Structures are given as C-alpha cells and as structure tokens.
Structure 1
C-alpha cells in the first residue's frame, strides 16, 4: 500500500495510489497521513478499502499533481549518522559501535520534488539519499524482536546537510541538518508489508545527471529494527515519527576534491520500490 499527501504546500490531503499509479482521495476515511492513522489498526482499515471505489484525484503524481511529504504533523524527525561502513570510510571516521543519533528539525520537511533553497552564506551544502522509517504504533524500550511491529512503513529521504555548519561550528550536527528544505520525504509511504526485506534495497542519487551515490541497504551497520529498538531507549516513539537511517558512499564531502551543491543544479534520487525525488537548487 502506497500512501501519499497531495496538493498545495500546507494544504495537503491524504491519498492512496491505485493500481494505475493514480491518486485516490482518502479524505472521507482519514484527516491526514499522520499520527494515529499510521497505527496497525488504522492501516488495516485502509488496506481493506478498494482504491477503485475512492474519488479519483485529477492529475498525475509528480507531474501536474504536487505531492507533499508523505507523512504529516511529524513530531520527531530523527536520523542516524555513519550507518554505512563505506560511507564512514569516505568521511574519514570510524564505524560507530552504537548508532549515532541526531535530529533534523521538523521545519526542514519538504515535499519530494520541492525546490531546495540554498541557505545564505552556505559553502558546503551536500546530499544524502537515505531509507526512511515511519513509526506506526509508538512505544519506549522496544525489544529488538518486537521492533518490526512498530514500523508503519518506509520512504525515501534526502538528508541534505551543510557540512561546514555540521562539522566545523562546534556543538552537535544539528546546525547543518535542519535548514528549510533540508528534509524532503516521499514521494509515498510504502507500508512495511510491501517491503519484505528493507536490507535489500538499492538506493542512488544523481546531480545534473551524474550518479554520485549507488549503494544498497545491505551494507547498513545497524538495520531498521535495531535502530527503532535503540532509539526507543532514549525517547518515546509516537505514530508518525520519522527516522532517517544513514547514507551509502558518494556524498559531495567524500569527493576528491569535495563537490557541493550550487544554484541551478538538480538532484534526482530514489530507492527500489519506494519511488524517486527531484529537487532543484534555488
């Protein structure tokens, strides 16, 4: 099941993709793809619907129909750093013994194809294609063997990062991670039952047609269930919380010499089974 939020920025409505890839409106059944809508009980009710009986939304998604972030009203946007051994190597950092956690402020969340405004004075804005986890049923101190029960589904995330502010301005990484537009999410939320093995997904990213990242979630240090269990030791997870799980090698910082985003460039990125994004730097 692929769930979407469609329409103008700030006024998105809930929808579901039908077998033809068209959006069907879910407004009569849920107010948003958010919060308690993402619990196992609510997802089961949505799964029982026949999309063909729902109102057809005019336009083709990601063409003449804008999609917003596939999750609304996100309470926490968390992320894991250096979660691919080969990315840690290109960053000149050790593979972590435990997940490195940081936050992306929820104000950075954007639609999958929204323009990326380059922050004033930015000199090192970078890209990171990542598998995103969306929490369904919440909880704390979740046992690893039960963590899958708390995952509503998966999505594509571009963990955009300003490296100078992330690494050279003191304090935590958050300064370089949460600027407006730095968290495109979507195009759709694919429920966990449609992703049999989240550690067997190819993910890639291109800038102006040049492929910089081309990896697989098989090289993750910590898998989705480990991450959910670990994070829940430090904060209570709620329905609709989002966790970005790290990126494979090929980021701009890892190029020799480093390559960073410039105005007018276009990023394209995607993950097998989870769709694609495109952002123009403005």
Structure 2
C-alpha cells in the first residue's frame, strides 16, 4: 500500500508540475507584447518562477509506472523470472515489492499467473513450477533411471539452479550417459551390465566355427527355425542369369588379408590377428 501511495503522489506531483510550467509559459506570453512600456531596469530583472520540486525517487517511480502500464505478458514474464531465479514462494504483495507487478490491482495478470504452466499457486503464494520436481543430484539420478530410453536435457534444465553441473558430475561418475546430437539426451547407465566375462566362456566363443559362406549360414538358421533375411541361392541364380561375373577365390582371399598397417576394430579378439601379412608393413 505504501508503494501505491508513493506512486499516486508522484503522479499528482507530475500533474502539478505540468500545470505550473504551463502557467509560467502563458504568463511569459502575456508579458511579451507590453515589454516596451516597462522601464529597462525592470524589464532586465529575471522573472521569478515558482520552485518546481520533483520527488527524489523519480526514476524508480517512473519505472514502476511503466511496468504497470505494460502488457499482461510482459508483467507475467517479470514475475516468472523472479520465481525462477529465487526459487522461493511469494505472496502477491511480496511480488509487488520485488518486481513492481501489482497483481492485486491487475486481475488479468493474477488470473494468467494462476493458470500458467510454470507457476504454482497454493492459494496464498506463487512459486516456480519446474518440468520435473527434483531438488538435488540424487533425485535427479532417480528420475533419469525411470527413463531407460533417455530423457531430454532441455526438460531438466529448469529443475534447480545447478542441475547442469550435477548432470556432468553424474556423467563423470559413470552413473549416466550424456549423448549429444540434435538434442542432448541423458540415459541411465545400468551397472548390472558391467560384468566380467570368464576366460572359459571367451574360449568357447572364440573356438566356435562359424560358416563363411552365406549359404551355410542360412541353412543353420533354418535348422533352428529362424528365417534368414537374405536368400543367397536365389541371388546367385539371378546373377548368373544376368551374366554377372563371380568374384574369384583369390580376390576374396586377398581382400581378407590383414597387414600391420590395418586399423584393428576387434582388438578384443587377438587370435584373429596372429597371422598378419608381413609384406603389408613394407613401404
């Protein structure tokens, strides 16, 4: 209420000052034509004007006046920014004192804030409403674990002030994965998948003979009831009808040779690279 009284007083002072200035201007105009009949000594005296007193808080009161005359959306933005930065709950009176938006006097702003998706009103105070209600790093991790297919970082940015730092900390501790593409996505890291494979199982896998001919692969798939995605026999028959030459075995063998200069992508299977082509290391 004190702020409203100051603003009203300021507006009255402005009206009074404007009226005073208008009176001064009109008096100068009326004195102008008869100046020749006034003695020179008197005419040279400065015209006494009434002192114009402005409030010492003119700048602030002008700002308040401009804010309250601004559109509803502009005033709402100021309130939401206040709630977002402070993360505190404010009554309409406290909001008025903090950012000069008088929600009690402007019903449109009050009703719009009550229905805004980023504001929570408990019947007395307004507070910021984040996309996800998490307050610290542990709650953030629990939330991400609920989204095995990933959650957008943009949906987490407004959770609390240092949420981005906590995301980086969780990534550094390997609790989550952060993948950057067109949109940053946070994925939970299932530590149950981080297991040690026994050497016997590795040896069993490496000693398993896998057919190199796709015809044999397709036959094995059919034996266990799986339908192959390709039909090599049909494809080769079509190639023969079209006269497409088949690749020679020698060319295939040469293509499969690995030199020491070859970039190895299966380093976890060292036995595949025991017989490197020594000629490949020569320039």
**Higher helix proportion (structure 1 or 2):** 2
> Which of structures 1 and 2 has the bigger CA Rg?
2
Relative CO higher for 1 or 2, CA cutoff 8 Å, sep ≥ 6? Answer: 1
Instruction: Settle same-fold status: TM greater than 0.5.
Output: no
**Higher strand proportion (structure 1 or 2):** 1
Q: TM-score scaled to structure 1, two decimals?
A: 0.17
